[in-house]
Chains A and B, each alone.
Chain A
Amino acid sequence: MRSDRRREASAGWMFIAPAVGLIAAFYLLPVLAGFVLSLTDFDLYAIGDPSVVRMVGAGNYQRVLTDAGFWAALRHTLFFVFVGGPLSMLASLGSALLLHEKLVRGRAFFRTVYFAPVVTTLVAVALVWRYLYHPTYGLVDHVLAWFGIAPIDWLGDPRSALWGILILAVWKSFGYNMLILIAGLQSIPEELYEAARLDGAGAWQRFRHVTLPSLGPTLLFVGVMTMLGQFQVFAEPYVMTQGGPLRSTVTVMLLMYEQGFRWWRMGYANAIAFVLFALMLITTLIQMRLQRGSRP
C-alpha cells in the first residue's frame, strides 16, 4: 500500500519533471541570478575585470528609493497604470459592447479594424503617430484647430508628451481586451436579459445587474493583465521620445533599461527590476482582494 503510493508519487514527479526542469532553468535560475546581481555593484568596470565586483547588500535598493529619477519614473508609470489602464479598459468595454450589439452592421469588419493596431509593429505605427502629433502639419492639431484649440507640441512639450504616448498606447492595445470581452459577452445567456426585461429593467439596469456581474471574472482577468502591462510600459516611450523631453516620459522600465544597457549598471538595474516586481505583486493582490470583496 505504502510503496504503491510512493511509486505513484515518484511517477507523478517524473511526469512533471520536464516542465519543472524547464521552469527552473529558464525562469527560476535567471530570477535568482538577477536577485544576486541586485546585491552587487556589477557595472562597466566589472565587465572588463570581474574581480572588481563588490557585494553591496541592500545598497542598490537604498539608492533606488532615494533616487529622484526613480520616483519621477514611478510617477509616470503610475500615470499609465491608473489613467492609461482604466482608459484602455473603458475603450475595450465600450467597443466590445458596441460590437456585441446585434443592430450594428459590419461587425466583423469593425472587429478587424479595432484589432489591427494590436498586430501591427509598434515601430512602424510610432512613425505614423509622430506625424499625426506634429505641431505644424499633424492631423491631431489640425482637428483640434477646428475647435479653436491652439496647436499642442504633443511630443516636444514636457507637459503633454506623456499624454501623447498614453493615447498611442491605449489605441494600440485596447483591441486585444476587446476581443476577450466580446467572448465574455457572448457567453452570457440570453435568458438572463429576457428575464430582466420582463422584470422591467431598462438598458442601464440590464447592463449594471446582468452584464457587469456576468463579466466579472473576465473583467478581473482583463483588468489584472492590463495593469501588469501598463506597469511595464517601455516600447512606446522608447520609440517615440526616448524618455524626453526633459525626461518627462521616462517610465520605470525605460529607466531600468537605461541603467542596465546604456550605463551598464547591472546591479542597480536589477534592483529597479525587483522593486517594480514588488510593486506589481502588491497592486495585483490588492486588486484581486477588491474584486473578491465586491462579489456578493
Chain B
Amino acid sequence: MSVAASSRQPRSVVASAALLLAALLPVGCATRAESPVTLRFWAMGREGEVVAELVREFEAEHPGVRVQVEQIPWSAAHEKLLTAHVGRSSPDVAQLGNSWMPEFHALRALRPVPATLAAAGVTREASFEGIWDTNVFDSVAFGVPWYVDTRVLFYRRDLFERAGVHSMPGDWAGFRRALEAVKAQSGGKAHGIFLPINEWVPPYVLGLSAGAGMLRDHGTRGDFSSPEFRRAFAWFAQLFRDGLAPPVAHSEVANMYQEIERGTFAAVITGPWNLGEFARRLPADLQDDWATAPLPGPDGPESGASTAGGSSLVVFERSRHAEAAWKLVAFLSRPEVQARFFRLTGDLPAMRAAWSDSALANDGRIDAFRVQLQRVRPAPLVPEWELIATMLQIQAEAVARGAVSPDSALARLDRDVDRVLEKRRWLRERERGASR
C-alpha cells in the first residue's frame, strides 16, 4: 500500500497499523518499510534536462526515495508554479528564479530552510551572501541558491588597448574617460558601450552601485528620487547625451555579436550565458581579444555592485516529504555535485567551495564573475519588484531617447511606484494596527 493511500484513512487505523508493524518488525526494517517516497521536482529548461541525470546518484544513496524530475519550459514556469500552488498541486521541490522569491513568500507557499542544511554545510557564508539574501525574509531563509547569475562588463580588450587603456578602470570617472578614448580613436564611428534601452538592468545596477535602495519605508514607497539614485541616473543619461551609448533597444540591433565584432560597441553589460555565446559567435581571430571585468563603481572598484540573479531550490509548504526534499537540496548543494552541474550546463555554482574546481578556477573570464559575486545585492524583496523594474525601464528609455529630463522621469517613476505599492502600505498599516 502506498503512503498516499494510507494517509486518507482514519488516523486511528493508520496509527494502530503502525503500532502493529513496529511491534512485529525490528526498528531498522520498520523505517525502510515507510518507503517508497516519490519526490516531485520541477526544474526549468536546460537545468531540467541535466538534473535528471544528477538525481540518479541521489536515489542510489537514498534507496527509499525516488525523484521524479518534471521539466518546465522557462517561458511558462512562473505561471505554472503559481497556478500549481493555488490549485494545490505544487511539487515537493522546485527551482525558483531568485526574483520570484518575494512572490512565493507572500503566497506563504514555501518552507523555511531547516537547521539540518546548515549542519550539511549549506549556509549563507558558504554561498555568496548577496545572493543568499534574496531568499531571506525577516531573518529566515526560504530557499537555497542553486546556481548564480550576475552581470559584468564584457569588452573588446584590443579596442580599449588601441585607445591607450591597458587595464579596465574600476571607477566611473576613469571608465567614462576610457569610453571617450575608444570613441575618439575610432574617429567617432564607434559607441563606447551598448546599454539596451529595453532592459531595466543598466540603470538598476548603476543605482545599486551608487548605494540607492530603490524603495523606502519598508518597501512601501519608491525612492528613485534619492540623491544616490539621481547621481547614478544622471551619469547614465550623460552617456547617452554624449553619444558614448546609443539609445537603441535589442530589437533595433540586428545582431549584437556582429556589432561587437565590427567594433560598433566596445563593451556591454551582460551575464554568464554570454561567455558561451561570445566564444561561439565571435570569429576565431577575435577570441583572444575579448575579456570580462567586474562593473566599475562610482567610488572605485569596491562600490561596483551588480544583480543577485540565478535560481534557488525551494521546498513547498504543501510537500508531504519535506525531510527527503531537503536532503535532495543538500545533495544538489554539495560542491562536487555543483561543479559537475557547472560542467553540464555552464551555470555558475552557488557554493563557493565548488569554485575551486579546475573548470572554474583556471578561466580568467570567469574570474570577473567571482569578484562581482562578492559585490552583489538583492533587489528590494517585494512581489511587485518585477513590475517596478519594467516601470524603471520605461522611464530610462524615455531619458535615453532624450524625451524627458532625468529628474522629472524619476519623479514620475516614484509616483507610479507609489501607486503600485499602495496595497503594501495598507497591509503595513493594518499589521501595525493589529500589534498596537
Contacts and interface: CB of A to CB of B under 8 A. Distances in A.
B426 A54 contact: yes
Interface string A38-66: 00010111011100101000000000000
Interface stretch (B46-54, B76-84, B263-271): B76-84
B33 interface: no
A47 B107 CA distance: 6
Contact of A246 (B85, B107, B251): B251
Given A49-B108, A245-B198, A264-B82, 5 more contacts: A45-B106, A48-B106, A48-B107, A48-B108, A246-B249
A54 B85 CA distance: 22
A156 interface: yes
Most interface-central of B85, B86, B249, B423 (chain A CB within 10 A) = B423
B426 A47 contact: no
Contacts of B3: none
B75 interface: yes
B162 interface: no
23 contacts: A43-B423, A44-B103, A44-B106, A44-B107, A45-B383, A45-B423, A45-B427, A47-B85, A48-B106, A48-B108, A48-B109, A49-B108, A153-B251, A157-B251, A158-B251, A242-B75, A244-B251, A245-B198, A245-B251, A246-B249, A261-B79, A261-B82, A262-B79
Contacts of B109: 48
Contacts of B107: 44, 47-48
B19 interface: no
A54 B427 CA distance: 11
Interface of B: 75, 78-79, 82-83, 85-86, 103, 106-109, 198, 249, 251, 254, 383, 387, 423, 426-427, 430
A264 B75 CA distance: 16
Contact of A156 (B78, B251, B387, B430): B251
A45 B420 CA distance: 13
User: Closest 7 interchain pairs by CB?
Assistant: A245-B251, A48-B108, A48-B107, A156-B251, A261-B79, A48-B106, A44-B383
Most interface-central of B78, B83, B251, B383 (chain A CB within 10 A) = B251
Interface size class of A (residues with CB under 8 A): 20 to 34
A266 to B, nearest CB: 10
A245 B252 CA distance: 10
B121 to A, nearest CB: 32
A153 B82 CA distance: 34
A135 B251 CA distance: 12
Interface in A126-177: 135, 153, 156-158
Contacts of A245: 198, 249, 251
Contacts of A244: 251
A263 interface: yes
Contacts of B78: 262
Contacts of B106: 44-45, 48
Contacts, number: 43
A153 B79 contact: no
Interface of A: 41, 43-45, 47-49, 52, 54, 135, 153, 156-158, 242, 244-246, 261-264
Contacts of A153: 251, 254
A123 to B, nearest CB: 12
A206 B426 CA distance: 69
Contacts of A49: 108
B130 to A, nearest CB: 25
A130 to B, nearest CB: 14
Nearest to A158: B251
A244 B251 CA distance: 10
Contacts of B198: 245-246
Nearest to A156: B251
Given A43-B423, A45-B106, A52 B430 contact: yes
A264 B423 CA distance: 14
Contacts of B75: 242
Contacts of A246: 198, 249, 251
A41 B419 CA distance: 13
Contact of A47 (B86, B254, B423): B86
Contacts of B251: 153, 156-158, 244-246
Nearest to B426: A54
A246 B109 CA distance: 32
B345 to A, nearest CB: 24
Contacts of B423: 41, 43, 45, 52
A43 B198 CA distance: 27
A262 B427 CA distance: 21
